Amino acid sequence: MSEKLTESDDHLVITRKFSAPRELVFDALTKHEHIKRWSCPTGMEVSFSRGELAVGGTYEFGMRRGDGPEIVLTGKFLEIDPPSRLVYTQRSRMPNGEESPDTTISITLSEVGGDTEMVFQHYGFASRQDRVNASMGWPSAMDKLSAVIEDLSRE
């Protein structure tokens, strides 16, 4: 596994390689039972994941630290092309009810010598600080995703 992180004020790009086929990586990114295992920063856990993987379909999942308050992430699927591409919006709802503006996440999966290269782009942040917060959380979530993919590869 290798990773590269690139940032600008409103854009975050993570490029990572996985030693697994694209179909397996796509499943890990999109199936609720897998999302529950990886889609939050280290120290937090996903409390629920639900939604419909279809263009125009919506999703939501919650994450929390221990018994702390729950942050809920919601969005809509804009583009789905298994196993190579996934594009969706995302916004967060904080425990006090405050919501962030929509951002967009674009994931492209390519075959590279038997491995899968993922280009993960998160863009449209309302502020530089929002992007900084995302750049602190996503890499550790990607570490969890790598562990899930490794587990699935052994099954």
pLDDT bucket at 10, cuts 50 / 70 / 90: confident
Give the tokens for residue 121.
Answer: 């782009």
Q: How many CB atoms lie within 10 A of CB 19?
A: 12
Task: pLDDT band for 128, please (50, 70, 90 cuts).
Answer: confident
Q: Which among 116, 83, 92 is positioned nearest to 39, based on CA atoms? A: 92
Give the strands of the sheet with 103-112, arranged side by side: 3-8, 11-18, 115-123, 103-112, 85-93, 71-81, 58-64, 45-51
66-125 per-position pLDDT tens digit: 999 999 999 999 999 999 999 999 999 999 999 999 999 999 999 999 899 999 999 999
pLDDT at 7 > cutoff 70? no
Beta strands in 65-123 (DSSP E): 71-81, 85-93, 103-112, 115-123
pLDDT for the residue numbered 8 = 67
The confidence band for 18, taking pLDDT boundaries of 50, 70 and 90, is very high
pLDDT in tens, 131-155: 888 888 999 999 999 999 999 999 8
CATH number for 3-154: choose from 3.40.50.2000, 3.30.530.20, 3.40.50.720, 3.30.70.2340.
3.30.530.20
The domain locations on the chain are 3-154
CA-wise closest residue to 139 among 118, 155, 108:
118
